[in-house]
Amino acid sequence: MTKTTTTTTTNAIPARRNILKAALLGPGAIGLRALATGLPASFLLDPVRTARAATAAITAPQYLILSLSASGDALNCNVPGTYDLPASFAAGSVYHPETPEMMPKALKLNGASYTAASPWANLPQNLLDRTVFFHHRTQTANHGEMERVLALFGVSRRGVEAPSFFSAQLATAFGTVQPQPIALGGETVSFNGRYLPKLSPTGLKAVLASPTDLARDLQNLRDGSLDALNKLFKENRASTKPERNFLDQLALSQNQFRKVADQVSTDLAAITADNGPNQVLAAALLVKLNVTPVVTIHLPFSGDNHLDTNWQNETTQTVASAANIKLLFDKLTAYGMQDKVSFAALNVFGRTFDGVGSGRGHNPSHNVALMIGKPFRGGVVGGLLPGGVSSDLDAATGRAMPGGDVAAADSLPAVAKTLGVGIGLPQIVVDDQITGGKIVRAALA
């Protein structure tokens, strides 16, 4: 697949800001008009066609905030399914950090009992009941193969990367300002054969904070947009019922508008850097603005920790990233979007389990993906075998099962298929695009 490289470092920041401006402040300020009214950008651009097509849209779509890492983080090493292991595991073959913050702790996932490092057990129960820990393998130990992991090593048709496939499918359902994902941090993703520029939380803030009085400008956009739509419908009485129904269902009231404007202003002020907490705040804001269906971020869980003495980086980053996942859903709850947005995490490979706190090696044979959101049933899919490798699994139950109908070698596309169906894509579309693996129904609510 041919891809066009991004701009030079010198021009990178202005280019990123221009892209955001084009999305939010472009012709007709369509992005801000969508925010001010609560109406999809596609409806504002073509009210008649969009309203009539709404009944054919994807059912129960989910926005997706996806954490990616080419570092091969040790996310896989401290989650449910790597503790309480059977006697077939030799003593000393699986090590976890012994730092106070990472001590083993019991937790429940939809009533089933597990053990994990404390940061996972400390998540709220309502979030744990929507959290899936999917044990799989990517079969690569190369940092540079993140793109191939996202393209599922050729199992995705035409080499389309999963985030872009999801985004293109969901854009019509949500009527977002753009169909492309937005990369706020971490790894580069592509769309239609072109690399997408990496944006930043502070860049988003710079664009949206540029109006002298954001609330006033949004109020004018709201009132002017709704007046224009009502005038259009009044002049076209013969065919306005679908349009009016669509408008009545989605348009913001004055009170709702004031709440949205206040939240946007407050959240923009809270963005002060480009690190994990600021990435999740900016990602939540982007889906609230309905700019894109998919935002990629980077929440680290160890980094490339070959020389991580006593796994201190692994500890610090796991504690911080688990807290940032909670922060994300706290913010989504404040927006009233906790049931409309899913979070997932995917690494290029996992880490080895041996050693005594002196660091971890690359592990192509075991990894863990996270899926969190309303469409998912909390639990563990797959599992760990002696030697630090992931097991085959049973698609119906999700249980680790040597010889199961999802071979460990096909578990990466199974992750992508399960995530795709979870966020609302029809199975027929997912099966057509991703030609390997199986949907693991046990992971879905």
Look at residue 423 and tell me if it is in a domain.
yes
**φ, ψ (nearest 5 deg) of residue 357:** 75, 15
pLDDT of 396 reads: 96
**190 and 238 in one domain?**
no
**89 and 79 in one domain?**
yes
**β 104-109/350-351 pair status:** unpaired
**386 and 424 in one domain?**
yes
pLDDT of 178 reads: 87
**What is the token pair recorded at 168?**
């293109």
Mean pLDDT, range 36-56, rounded to an integer: 58
**109 and 34 in one domain?**
no
Taking 50 as the threshold, does the pLDDT of residue 130 lie above it?
A: yes
pLDDT of 243 reads: 58
Taking 80 as the threshold, does the pLDDT of residue 109 lie above it?
A: yes
* Closest C-alpha to 229, from 239, 215, 216, 243: 243
Look at residue 133 and tell me if it is in a domain.
yes
Q: State which of 72-76, 88-92, 190-194 shows the largest mean pLDDT.
A: 72-76
pLDDT of 317 reads: 98
Give the domain-ending residue among 273, 300, 316. 273
Rounded CA separation 325/332 (Å): 11
pLDDT in tens, 346-371: 999 999 998 766 789 999 999 999 99
Q: What residues have CB less than 8 Å from 186, skipping those under 6 apart?
A: 67, 68, 69, 70, 296, 297, 298
Taking 60 as the threshold, does the pLDDT of residue 138 lie above it?
A: yes
Rounded CA separation 41/37 (Å): 10
Look at residue 407 and tell me if it is in a domain.
yes
Q: What is the CATH number of the domain that holds 411?
A: 3.40.720
Query: Is the C-alpha dihedral spanning 400, 404, 406, 412 positive or negative?
Result: positive
**195 and 120 in one domain?**
yes
* Closest C-alpha to 35, from 306, 257, 293: 257
Rounded CA separation 136/150 (Å): 14
**71 and 142 in one domain?**
yes
**336 and 196 in one domain?**
yes
Taking 90 as the threshold, does the pLDDT of residue 280 lie above it?
A: yes
Look at residue 268 and tell me if it is in a domain.
yes
Rounded CA separation 391/385 (Å): 6
**405 and 385 in one domain?**
yes
Taking 80 as the threshold, does the pLDDT of residue 229 lie above it?
A: no
Look at residue 8 and tell me if it is in a domain.
no
Taking 60 as the threshold, does the pLDDT of residue 440 lie above it?
A: yes
Mean pLDDT, range 18-46, rounded to an integer: 61
Taking 70 as the threshold, does the pLDDT of residue 11 lie above it?
A: no
pLDDT of 357 reads: 66
pLDDT of 114 reads: 98
pLDDT in tens, 308-332: 988 999 999 999 999 999 999 999 9
pLDDT of 265 reads: 77
Tell me which amino acid residue 284 is. A
Q: How confident is the model at residue 13 (pLDDT cuts 50, 70, 90)?
A: very low
**What is the token pair recorded at 366?**
């075991």
Taking 90 as the threshold, does the pLDDT of residue 160 lie above it?
A: yes
- Is residue 428 classed exposed, middle or buried when 0-12, 13-18 and 19+ CB atoms within 10 A define those classes? exposed
**357 and 315 in one domain?**
yes
| 96 within 8 A of 104, measured Cβ to Cβ | yes
**166 and 86 in one domain?**
yes
- Is residue 122 classed exposed, middle or buried when 0-12, 13-18 and 19+ CB atoms within 10 A define those classes? middle
Total count of domains within the chain: 2
Taking 90 as the threshold, does the pLDDT of residue 338 lie above it?
A: yes
| 176 within 8 A of 293, measured Cβ to Cβ | yes
Mean pLDDT across the chain, nearest whole number?
85
Tell me which amino acid residue 197 is. P
Give the domain-ending residue among 257, 273, 289. 273
Taking 50 as the threshold, does the pLDDT of residue 1 lie above it?
A: no
pLDDT of 8 reads: 40
Taking 80 as the threshold, does the pLDDT of residue 127 lie above it?
A: yes
Look at residue 1 and tell me if it is in a domain.
no
Q: How confident is the model at residue 56 (pLDDT cuts 50, 70, 90)?
A: very low
221 or 422, higher pLDDT: 422
- Compute the CA torsion angle 431, 437, 443, 445 (nearest 10 deg): 10
For the ranges 79-83, 113-117, 269-273, which has the lowest average pLDDT?
A: 269-273
| 378 within 8 A of 147, measured Cβ to Cβ | no
Write down the pTM of the prediction: 0.82
Mean pLDDT, range 394-415, rounded to an integer: 97
Look at residue 11 and tell me if it is in a domain.
no
Q: How crowded is residue 22: how many other Cβ atoms within 10 Å of its Cβ? A: 15
Taking 60 as the threshold, does the pLDDT of residue 251 lie above it?
A: no
Distance of CA 147 to the CA centre of its chain: 16
Give the domain-ending residue among 252, 273, 294. 273
Q: How confident is the model at residue 29 (pLDDT cuts 50, 70, 90)?
A: low
Q: Percent of the chain beyond pLDDT 70? A: 75
Mean pLDDT, range 228-252, rounded to an integer: 59
**162 and 131 in one domain?**
yes
pLDDT of 424 reads: 96
For the ranges 142-151, 236-245, 394-403, which has the lowest average pLDDT?
A: 236-245
* Closest C-alpha to 157, from 367, 416, 444, 408: 416
Domain with 160, as residue range(s), is 61-200+274-443
pLDDT of 234 reads: 64
Mean pLDDT, range 268-277, rounded to an integer: 93
Look at residue 19 and tell me if it is in a domain.
no
**189 and 138 in one domain?**
yes
